Structure 1
C-alpha cells in the first residue's frame, strides 16, 4: 500500500507505520497508547470534530437541549470545570454511577 498511498508516519527504522489513501488509513503494527492518542487527536481535528479530554470514566451526551454528564469510572469526580451555571439534576461532584444534567446553553463544548 505504501507505493500508492501517502506515508503519514514511519517506524524508528524507516518503514511505513501509518498510510492514507482517499480518506482511509492503514496502521501497521501495535503502537503504544501515546501514539494512538496523538493519532486520534489528529484525525478528529482534521475531520472538524470538537472533543475535550474528559476525566477518566466521564461520558457526556446531548439530548433535548440538555447536557448529561455520567460517571462510569471507579472514583468520585468533580466535573464543575465542564459545566457553567446550575445543574437541573444532580451535583457537579459525581459519585460512582452519578449523573448531572445541565441546560445545553450552560455547558461548555464538551
Structure 2
C-alpha cells in the first residue's frame, strides 16, 4: 500500500484558538511538515492549539516525535480524533503523560 501524503489544514478560530486538521500518514517523510507549520504559528497570538488526527492513517515514531516538537513550540496542545491504534501507541510510549488527548464518548468505548 502506497503511503498517503499528509495534508495539514490550519483553522484560526475565535479566542486565539488554532486547529490543525491532519489527513494522511504522519511519518518520517511528513513529520517535518507538521513541525514547520507549528514553527510558523509560534510567533502568532494563538493561545490554544488543537491537533485533529482523525484523518491520520499511520503515525510512526517520527510522527510521535513531531507531536512532541509541536507541543514544545506551542506550550500545550490538545489531540483529538485519536484512533484506538494511536491511543495504544501513546499509552505504550508514555506520551499520554505529556500530550492531552480528548476523546468523544464513543471513542472511549472503542478503546476500553
Question: Is this a same-fold pair by TM over 0.5?
Answer: no
Radius of gyration: which is bigger? 1
TM norm structure 2: 0.25
TM norm structure 1: 0.25
Identify, as 1 or 2, the structure richer in helix.
2
